[in-house]
Structure 1
Amino acid sequence: MAEEKSIVSGVSGRYATALFELALDSGAVDAVEADLSRFTDLLAESDDLTRLVRSPVFAAEDQLRAVSAVLAKAGIGGLVANFIKVAAGNRRLFVLPGMIADFRRLAAAHRGEVTAEVTSAEPLSDAATAALKEALKAKIGKDVTLVTQVDPALIGGLVVKVGSRMVDTSLRSKLNSLKIAMKEVG
Protein backbone atom coordinates (compact mmCIF):
# COMPACT_ATOMS: atom_id res chain seq x y z
CA MET A 1 0.00 0.00 0.00
CA ALA A 2 2.98 2.33 0.53
CA GLU A 3 3.57 2.41 -3.23
CA GLU A 4 -0.07 3.29 -3.88
CA LYS A 5 -0.04 6.09 -1.33
CA SER A 6 2.99 7.69 -2.96
CA ILE A 7 1.15 8.30 -6.23
CA VAL A 8 -1.45 10.55 -4.57
CA SER A 9 -1.12 13.35 -2.06
CA GLY A 10 -2.95 16.17 -0.32
CA VAL A 11 -6.60 16.29 0.66
CA SER A 12 -7.75 14.57 -2.52
CA GLY A 13 -5.19 11.82 -2.02
CA ARG A 14 -6.27 11.16 1.57
CA TYR A 15 -9.94 10.90 0.61
CA ALA A 16 -9.16 8.78 -2.47
CA THR A 17 -6.94 6.44 -0.46
CA ALA A 18 -9.67 5.96 2.15
CA LEU A 19 -12.24 5.19 -0.55
CA PHE A 20 -9.82 2.88 -2.36
CA GLU A 21 -9.07 0.91 0.81
CA LEU A 22 -12.79 0.52 1.54
CA ALA A 23 -13.45 -0.57 -2.06
CA LEU A 24 -10.53 -3.00 -1.95
CA ASP A 25 -11.68 -4.51 1.35
CA SER A 26 -15.19 -5.04 -0.01
CA GLY A 27 -14.00 -6.26 -3.45
CA ALA A 28 -15.76 -3.40 -5.18
CA VAL A 29 -12.94 -1.44 -6.85
CA ASP A 30 -14.39 -1.83 -10.35
CA ALA A 31 -17.94 -0.99 -9.22
CA VAL A 32 -16.74 2.09 -7.33
CA GLU A 33 -14.70 3.21 -10.33
CA ALA A 34 -17.75 2.79 -12.59
CA ASP A 35 -19.96 4.85 -10.22
CA LEU A 36 -17.29 7.56 -10.00
CA SER A 37 -17.16 7.65 -13.81
CA ARG A 38 -20.93 8.05 -13.95
CA PHE A 39 -20.72 10.95 -11.50
CA THR A 40 -17.91 12.50 -13.57
CA ASP A 41 -20.16 12.24 -16.64
CA LEU A 42 -22.94 14.00 -14.70
CA LEU A 43 -20.51 16.82 -13.85
CA ALA A 44 -19.51 17.14 -17.50
CA GLU A 45 -23.16 17.31 -18.59
CA SER A 46 -24.41 19.82 -16.01
CA ASP A 47 -23.02 23.30 -15.44
CA ASP A 48 -25.35 23.63 -12.44
CA LEU A 49 -23.95 20.50 -10.79
CA THR A 50 -20.40 21.66 -11.50
CA ARG A 51 -21.21 25.04 -9.94
CA LEU A 52 -22.69 23.30 -6.89
CA VAL A 53 -19.58 21.15 -6.47
CA ARG A 54 -17.07 23.98 -6.95
CA SER A 55 -18.76 26.94 -5.29
CA PRO A 56 -18.02 27.83 -1.66
CA VAL A 57 -21.20 29.93 -1.59
CA PHE A 58 -23.49 26.96 -0.91
CA ALA A 59 -23.84 25.79 2.68
CA ALA A 60 -22.71 22.22 3.43
CA GLU A 61 -26.30 21.21 4.20
CA ASP A 62 -27.51 22.57 0.84
CA GLN A 63 -24.70 20.79 -1.02
CA LEU A 64 -25.44 17.56 0.83
CA ARG A 65 -29.18 17.77 0.08
CA ALA A 66 -28.63 18.57 -3.61
CA VAL A 67 -25.93 15.96 -4.15
CA SER A 68 -28.03 13.33 -2.38
CA ALA A 69 -30.90 14.03 -4.76
CA VAL A 70 -28.60 13.83 -7.82
CA LEU A 71 -27.07 10.56 -6.61
CA ALA A 72 -30.50 9.04 -5.97
CA LYS A 73 -31.80 10.10 -9.39
CA ALA A 74 -28.66 8.73 -11.09
CA GLY A 75 -28.92 5.44 -9.20
CA ILE A 76 -25.50 5.85 -7.59
CA GLY A 77 -25.46 4.33 -4.12
CA GLY A 78 -23.23 2.38 -1.78
CA LEU A 79 -19.66 3.43 -1.18
CA VAL A 80 -19.62 6.18 -3.80
CA ALA A 81 -22.80 7.83 -2.55
CA ASN A 82 -21.57 7.72 1.04
CA PHE A 83 -18.16 9.02 -0.04
CA ILE A 84 -19.61 11.99 -1.92
CA LYS A 85 -21.97 12.77 0.96
CA VAL A 86 -19.08 12.72 3.45
CA ALA A 87 -17.12 15.07 1.18
CA ALA A 88 -20.14 17.39 1.01
CA GLY A 89 -20.66 17.27 4.77
CA ASN A 90 -16.99 18.10 5.35
CA ARG A 91 -17.06 21.04 2.88
CA ARG A 92 -14.65 19.19 0.57
CA LEU A 93 -16.95 18.79 -2.42
CA PHE A 94 -14.80 21.24 -4.43
CA VAL A 95 -11.94 18.70 -4.26
CA LEU A 96 -14.12 15.88 -5.62
CA PRO A 97 -12.71 15.93 -9.20
CA GLY A 98 -9.20 15.54 -7.74
CA MET A 99 -10.40 12.76 -5.44
CA ILE A 100 -11.86 10.90 -8.41
CA ALA A 101 -8.66 11.32 -10.43
CA ASP A 102 -6.59 10.07 -7.47
CA PHE A 103 -8.90 7.07 -6.99
CA ARG A 104 -8.44 6.20 -10.66
CA ARG A 105 -4.66 6.39 -10.24
CA LEU A 106 -4.80 4.08 -7.23
CA ALA A 107 -7.08 1.61 -9.02
CA ALA A 108 -4.90 1.63 -12.15
CA ALA A 109 -1.74 1.08 -10.09
CA HIS A 110 -3.46 -1.78 -8.28
CA ARG A 111 -4.24 -3.42 -11.64
CA GLY A 112 -0.69 -2.77 -12.89
CA GLU A 113 -1.86 -0.15 -15.37
CA VAL A 114 -0.52 3.27 -16.19
CA THR A 115 -2.87 6.22 -16.61
CA ALA A 116 -2.46 8.50 -19.59
CA GLU A 117 -4.24 11.85 -19.75
CA VAL A 118 -5.22 12.57 -23.34
CA THR A 119 -6.53 15.90 -24.56
CA SER A 120 -7.88 16.15 -28.10
CA ALA A 121 -9.59 18.82 -30.16
CA GLU A 122 -12.57 16.51 -30.76
CA PRO A 123 -13.84 13.41 -28.95
CA LEU A 124 -11.78 10.36 -29.95
CA SER A 125 -13.52 7.57 -31.84
CA ASP A 126 -13.48 4.07 -30.39
CA ALA A 127 -10.99 3.01 -33.08
CA ALA A 128 -8.67 5.94 -32.30
CA THR A 129 -8.89 5.22 -28.57
CA ALA A 130 -8.01 1.56 -29.11
CA ALA A 131 -5.11 2.44 -31.43
CA LEU A 132 -3.75 4.98 -28.95
CA LYS A 133 -3.98 2.45 -26.10
CA GLU A 134 -2.09 -0.12 -28.15
CA ALA A 135 0.60 2.38 -29.18
CA LEU A 136 1.11 3.52 -25.58
CA LYS A 137 1.15 -0.09 -24.34
CA ALA A 138 3.85 -0.93 -26.91
CA LYS A 139 5.91 2.09 -25.84
CA ILE A 140 5.47 1.78 -22.06
CA GLY A 141 5.16 -1.99 -21.71
CA LYS A 142 2.09 -1.86 -19.44
CA ASP A 143 -1.65 -1.68 -19.94
CA VAL A 144 -2.78 1.93 -20.27
CA THR A 145 -5.96 3.52 -18.96
CA LEU A 146 -6.93 6.64 -20.88
CA VAL A 147 -8.51 9.65 -19.19
CA THR A 148 -9.72 11.77 -22.07
CA GLN A 149 -10.87 15.35 -22.31
CA VAL A 150 -11.72 17.64 -25.19
CA ASP A 151 -10.20 21.08 -25.75
CA PRO A 152 -11.28 22.64 -29.07
CA ALA A 153 -8.51 25.25 -28.68
CA LEU A 154 -5.98 22.56 -29.70
CA ILE A 155 -7.38 22.85 -33.24
CA GLY A 156 -6.11 19.33 -34.05
CA GLY A 157 -3.74 16.65 -32.80
CA LEU A 158 -3.29 15.35 -29.26
CA VAL A 159 -1.62 16.16 -25.97
CA VAL A 160 -0.72 12.96 -24.10
CA LYS A 161 0.60 12.96 -20.52
CA VAL A 162 1.91 9.79 -18.90
CA GLY A 163 3.41 10.43 -15.50
CA SER A 164 5.92 13.25 -15.87
CA ARG A 165 6.23 12.78 -19.65
CA MET A 166 4.16 14.81 -22.10
CA VAL A 167 3.90 14.60 -25.87
CA ASP A 168 2.20 17.57 -27.51
CA THR A 169 1.33 17.05 -31.18
CA SER A 170 -1.43 19.65 -31.18
CA LEU A 171 -1.78 22.00 -34.10
CA ARG A 172 -1.93 24.91 -31.62
CA SER A 173 1.59 24.09 -30.35
CA LYS A 174 2.93 23.72 -33.86
CA LEU A 175 1.46 27.09 -34.86
CA ASN A 176 2.93 28.73 -31.75
CA SER A 177 6.35 27.26 -32.58
CA LEU A 178 6.05 28.56 -36.13
CA LYS A 179 5.08 32.00 -34.83
CA ILE A 180 8.15 32.08 -32.56
CA ALA A 181 10.39 30.94 -35.43
CA MET A 182 8.98 33.65 -37.70
CA LYS A 183 9.69 36.32 -35.05
CA GLU A 184 13.30 35.17 -34.77
CA VAL A 185 13.75 35.37 -38.56
CA GLY A 186 12.28 38.86 -38.80
Structure 2
Amino acid sequence: MSKDRRAPHVSSDHPVSGVAGRYATALFELADAEGALDAVAGDLERISAMLNESSDLVRLVRSPIFSAEDQTKAFGAVLEKAGISGLVKNFIGLVIRNRRLFGLSDMIGAYTTLLARKRGEMTADVVSAHPLQAAQVESLKAALKSATGRDVRINTKVDASLLGGLIVTVGSRMVDSSLRTKLNSLKIAMKEAS
Protein backbone atom coordinates (compact mmCIF):
# COMPACT_ATOMS: atom_id res chain seq x y z
CA MET A 1 0.00 0.00 0.00
CA SER A 2 1.53 3.29 -1.02
CA LYS A 3 1.50 6.26 1.24
CA ASP A 4 -0.39 9.30 -0.05
CA ARG A 5 2.37 11.80 -0.89
CA ARG A 6 0.10 14.70 -1.78
CA ALA A 7 0.38 17.74 0.40
CA PRO A 8 -2.54 18.04 2.79
CA HIS A 9 -4.85 21.02 2.39
CA VAL A 10 -5.00 23.37 5.34
CA SER A 11 -7.96 25.69 5.42
CA SER A 12 -6.25 28.37 7.46
CA ASP A 13 -2.96 30.17 7.06
CA HIS A 14 -1.01 29.46 3.89
CA PRO A 15 -2.54 26.74 1.80
CA VAL A 16 -0.36 23.65 1.76
CA SER A 17 -0.85 22.58 -1.82
CA GLY A 18 0.80 22.74 -5.19
CA VAL A 19 4.54 22.69 -5.72
CA ALA A 20 5.28 24.70 -2.58
CA GLY A 21 3.13 22.36 -0.52
CA ARG A 22 4.87 19.27 -1.85
CA TYR A 23 8.32 20.67 -1.10
CA ALA A 24 7.25 21.91 2.33
CA THR A 25 5.66 18.57 3.17
CA ALA A 26 8.82 16.70 2.18
CA LEU A 27 10.97 19.01 4.32
CA PHE A 28 8.51 18.75 7.20
CA GLU A 29 8.52 14.95 7.10
CA LEU A 30 12.33 14.83 7.03
CA ALA A 31 12.60 17.34 9.87
CA ASP A 32 10.02 15.42 11.89
CA ALA A 33 11.87 12.14 11.33
CA GLU A 34 15.12 13.76 12.50
CA GLY A 35 13.47 15.51 15.45
CA ALA A 36 14.50 18.85 13.98
CA LEU A 37 11.16 20.58 13.40
CA ASP A 38 12.02 23.60 15.54
CA ALA A 39 15.58 23.91 14.24
CA VAL A 40 14.36 23.86 10.64
CA ALA A 41 11.62 26.37 11.49
CA GLY A 42 14.23 28.68 13.02
CA ASP A 43 16.44 28.46 9.94
CA LEU A 44 13.47 29.11 7.65
CA GLU A 45 12.44 32.11 9.76
CA ARG A 46 15.94 33.55 9.36
CA ILE A 47 15.79 33.02 5.59
CA SER A 48 12.37 34.67 5.50
CA ALA A 49 13.68 37.63 7.49
CA MET A 50 16.62 37.96 5.08
CA LEU A 51 14.21 37.94 2.14
CA ASN A 52 12.15 40.68 3.80
CA GLU A 53 15.25 42.81 4.33
CA SER A 54 17.06 42.41 1.01
CA SER A 55 15.66 43.30 -2.38
CA ASP A 56 18.82 41.86 -3.95
CA LEU A 57 18.14 38.49 -2.34
CA VAL A 58 14.53 38.62 -3.53
CA ARG A 59 15.78 39.35 -7.04
CA LEU A 60 18.14 36.35 -6.82
CA VAL A 61 15.28 34.12 -5.70
CA ARG A 62 12.66 35.28 -8.18
CA SER A 63 14.56 36.17 -11.33
CA PRO A 64 14.88 33.49 -14.00
CA ILE A 65 17.94 35.32 -15.35
CA PHE A 66 20.22 33.73 -12.76
CA SER A 67 21.44 30.24 -13.54
CA ALA A 68 21.11 27.45 -11.00
CA GLU A 69 24.88 27.60 -10.58
CA ASP A 70 24.78 31.34 -9.81
CA GLN A 71 21.91 30.85 -7.37
CA THR A 72 23.73 27.97 -5.68
CA LYS A 73 26.89 30.02 -5.18
CA ALA A 74 25.11 33.16 -4.02
CA PHE A 75 22.57 31.45 -1.78
CA GLY A 76 25.28 29.16 -0.42
CA ALA A 77 27.24 32.22 0.70
CA VAL A 78 24.13 33.72 2.28
CA LEU A 79 23.34 30.50 4.15
CA GLU A 80 26.92 30.15 5.33
CA LYS A 81 26.98 33.72 6.63
CA ALA A 82 23.68 33.11 8.44
CA GLY A 83 24.99 29.87 9.95
CA ILE A 84 22.37 27.75 8.23
CA SER A 85 23.48 24.24 7.36
CA GLY A 86 22.27 20.67 7.39
CA LEU A 87 18.74 19.89 6.36
CA VAL A 88 17.76 23.42 5.34
CA LYS A 89 20.94 23.95 3.33
CA ASN A 90 20.36 20.66 1.51
CA PHE A 91 16.72 21.56 0.96
CA ILE A 92 17.63 24.93 -0.57
CA GLY A 93 20.17 23.17 -2.79
CA LEU A 94 17.50 20.78 -4.05
CA VAL A 95 15.06 23.62 -4.65
CA ILE A 96 17.70 25.47 -6.67
CA ARG A 97 18.68 22.38 -8.70
CA ASN A 98 15.02 21.83 -9.54
CA ARG A 99 14.66 25.51 -10.54
CA ARG A 100 11.95 26.15 -7.95
CA LEU A 101 13.68 28.84 -5.89
CA PHE A 102 11.02 31.36 -6.98
CA GLY A 103 8.57 29.50 -4.71
CA LEU A 104 10.76 29.61 -1.61
CA SER A 105 8.57 32.07 0.31
CA ASP A 106 5.50 29.93 -0.32
CA MET A 107 7.43 26.83 0.76
CA ILE A 108 8.43 28.54 4.00
CA GLY A 109 4.83 29.61 4.59
CA ALA A 110 3.57 26.09 3.93
CA TYR A 111 6.16 24.60 6.30
CA THR A 112 5.12 27.07 8.99
CA THR A 113 1.49 26.07 8.46
CA LEU A 114 2.29 22.38 8.78
CA LEU A 115 4.24 23.02 11.98
CA ALA A 116 1.50 25.20 13.44
CA ARG A 117 -1.11 22.56 12.62
CA LYS A 118 0.98 19.87 14.31
CA ARG A 119 1.18 22.09 17.40
CA GLY A 120 -2.51 23.01 17.28
CA GLU A 121 -1.68 26.65 16.57
CA MET A 122 -2.87 29.20 14.06
CA THR A 123 -0.72 31.80 12.37
CA ALA A 124 -1.70 35.44 12.16
CA ASP A 125 -0.02 37.87 9.81
CA VAL A 126 0.06 41.34 11.33
CA VAL A 127 1.05 44.42 9.36
CA SER A 128 1.62 47.61 11.34
CA ALA A 129 2.81 51.11 10.56
CA HIS A 130 5.55 50.85 13.19
CA PRO A 131 7.35 47.88 14.76
CA LEU A 132 5.27 46.32 17.53
CA GLN A 133 6.72 46.12 21.01
CA ALA A 134 6.85 42.74 22.77
CA ALA A 135 4.00 43.70 25.11
CA GLN A 136 1.81 44.65 22.14
CA VAL A 137 2.53 41.34 20.42
CA GLU A 138 1.66 39.42 23.60
CA SER A 139 -1.55 41.41 24.02
CA LEU A 140 -2.48 40.71 20.41
CA LYS A 141 -1.73 36.99 20.88
CA ALA A 142 -4.01 36.89 23.91
CA ALA A 143 -6.83 38.66 22.06
CA LEU A 144 -6.51 36.37 19.05
CA LYS A 145 -6.39 33.27 21.26
CA SER A 146 -9.56 34.45 22.95
CA ALA A 147 -11.23 34.99 19.57
CA THR A 148 -10.07 31.75 17.92
CA GLY A 149 -9.77 29.40 20.88
CA ARG A 150 -6.32 28.32 19.69
CA ASP A 151 -2.76 29.38 20.33
CA VAL A 152 -1.72 31.94 17.75
CA ARG A 153 1.72 32.49 16.29
CA ILE A 154 2.20 36.04 15.01
CA ASN A 155 4.24 37.05 11.97
CA THR A 156 4.81 40.79 11.99
CA LYS A 157 5.60 43.08 9.11
CA VAL A 158 6.00 46.85 9.00
CA ASP A 159 4.38 48.98 6.29
CA ALA A 160 4.81 52.69 6.99
CA SER A 161 2.16 53.54 4.37
CA LEU A 162 -0.53 52.36 6.82
CA LEU A 163 0.09 55.55 8.84
CA GLY A 164 -1.27 53.84 11.98
CA GLY A 165 -3.31 50.88 13.15
CA LEU A 166 -3.03 47.26 12.10
CA ILE A 167 -4.04 44.79 9.44
CA VAL A 168 -4.49 41.34 10.97
CA THR A 169 -5.00 38.28 8.80
CA VAL A 170 -5.87 34.92 10.36
CA GLY A 171 -6.62 32.28 7.79
CA SER A 172 -9.05 33.75 5.29
CA ARG A 173 -10.24 36.46 7.68
CA MET A 174 -8.74 39.93 7.62
CA VAL A 175 -9.35 42.85 9.94
CA ASP A 176 -8.07 46.16 8.59
CA SER A 177 -8.03 48.87 11.22
CA SER A 178 -5.30 50.90 9.56
CA LEU A 179 -5.50 54.65 9.48
CA ARG A 180 -4.89 54.57 5.72
CA THR A 181 -8.05 52.51 5.16
CA LYS A 182 -10.10 54.69 7.48
CA LEU A 183 -8.92 57.84 5.67
CA ASN A 184 -9.68 56.29 2.28
CA SER A 185 -13.18 55.34 3.49
CA LEU A 186 -13.72 58.89 4.73
CA LYS A 187 -12.49 60.28 1.41
CA ILE A 188 -14.94 58.09 -0.52
CA ALA A 189 -17.80 59.05 1.80
CA MET A 190 -17.01 62.74 1.34
CA LYS A 191 -16.94 62.37 -2.46
CA GLU A 192 -20.30 60.61 -2.42
CA ALA A 193 -21.80 63.31 -0.19
CA SER A 194 -20.77 66.16 -2.49
> How far 1:89 moved relative to its partner?
1.1
Q: How far apart are the structure 1 equivalents of 2:139 and 2:174?
A: 18
> Counterpart in 2 of 1:17?
25
- Counterpart of 1:182, as a letter, is M
After superposing on structure 2, the runs of 4+ consecutive aligned residues of structure 1 that deviate more than 3 Å are none
**1:23-65 superposed Cα distances (whole Å, 9 cap, x missing partner):** 1111111110001111112222322222111111100111011
> Counterpart in 2 of 1:102?
110
> Counterpart in 1 of 2:38?
30
> Counterpart in 2 of 1:54?
62
Gaps of 5+ in 2: 11-15
Match of 1:140 among 148, 163, 182: 148
Map 1:97-136 onto structure 2 (within 5 A).
97-136=105-144
Gaps of 5+ in 1: none
> Counterpart in 1 of 2:161?
153
> Counterpart in 1 of 2:81?
73
Q: How far apart are the structure 2 equivalents of 1:27 and 1:110?
A: 13
- Identity of aligned pairs, percent? 60
**1:113-133 superposed Cα distances (whole Å, 9 cap, x missing partner):** 001111111111111111100
> How far 1:102 moved relative to its partner?
0.8
Q: How far apart are the structure 2 equivalents of 1:148 and 1:89?
A: 31
Q: How far apart are the structure 2 equivalents of 1:36 and 1:65?
A: 19
What secondary structure, in the 3-state scheme, does the structure 2 residue paired with 1:22 have?
Answer: helix
Task: Please give the root-mean-square deviation of Cα atoms over the aligned residues, in Å.
Answer: 1.5
> How far 1:138 moved relative to its partner?
0.9
Q: How far apart are the structure 2 equivalents of 1:158 and 1:166?
A: 10
| TM-score normalized with structure 1 length | 0.95
